[in-house]
Amino acid sequence: MPEDIEKLKLKINYNFADKALLREALTHRTYAVENSLPYDNQRLEFLGDAVLEIILSEYLFKLYPDAQEGELTKMRSAMVNQYSLAILARNIDLGAFMITGKGEKENGGCDRDSTLSDLFEALIGAFYLDADLETVKNFILEIVKKEFPDPRKLLLDLNPKGILQEYSQKKWNEPPIYEILSVSGPDHAPVFSVEVIIDEIRAPGTASSRKQAEIEAAKNAIVIISKKDPDCF
């Protein structure tokens, strides 16, 4: 059973006047299908996506007065992708309140990034309808500032290999070297372990494909470099 939705008001510091609207926001389509309900949270998800976009656009516009349109767009995209929104959803333990079908729950849907990000957007849509834009903005920016104090850092996750290559070329005039350390596991589910070498820095990466393993290695290398020089990226 999901958590009592009354507890959610403590997480978001807001008490919904329209409890039916909040319940709709928390209702996954699998539950709606299993119980023949005339609603689920997909329409509110659509609205919440738009509300997030305008709030975060204004926030980034004011936060980075030196940033051009392209960079602002990339930062906003990084803040509203599945991974980032799932982090915001977990901040308020939103998955515990999701009303979902039996199969979805058994398959871990309550903690899946894609499901949590959709759920967060639906909550924002309902929040906007029940309150007002300013109240929703205050809620969103409070957790955004906590989880992503410097949104520019999110750009590192968009293209870590490209960022690492640009840094390496600029600093040492040579590209990073990626080496396969091992390939294990069955043919249908291989595990690639690679290492990226950049000057004296070595960083590992493991994933189900060579490409993704190299991406993970690049991310780890960026973390190592950033600890030595926080302002290098």
Q: Give yes or no: 4 in active site.
A: no
Of 24, 49, 118, 214, the catalytic one is: 49
The mean predicted confidence, pLDDT, of the chain is: 91
Query: Do 160-228 and 5-157 have the same topology in CATH?
Result: no
Q: What is the pLDDT of residues 151-207, one digit of tens each?
A: 988 887 778 999 899 999 999 999 999 999 999 988 888 999 999 999 999 999 999
Instruction: Count CB-CB contacts under 10 A for residue 183.
Output: 12
CA distance 86 to 69: 25
Q: What is the pLDDT of residues 12-53, one digit of tens each?
A: 999 999 999 999 999 999 999 999 999 999 999 999 999 999
What H or E segment, with its residue span, contains residue 193? strand 191-198
What's the average model confidence in pLDDT over 221-230? Answer: 84
The answer as to CATH 1.10.1520.10 being correct for domain 5-157 is yes
Give the pTM: 0.75
Q: Give yes or no: 49 in active site.
A: yes
- Angle among Cα 104, 110, 116 to the nearest 5 degrees reads 115
The answer as to CATH 1.10.510.10 being correct for domain 160-228 is no
What are the sequence ranges of the domains in the chain?
5-157, 160-228
Of 40, 45, 104, 121, the catalytic one is: 121
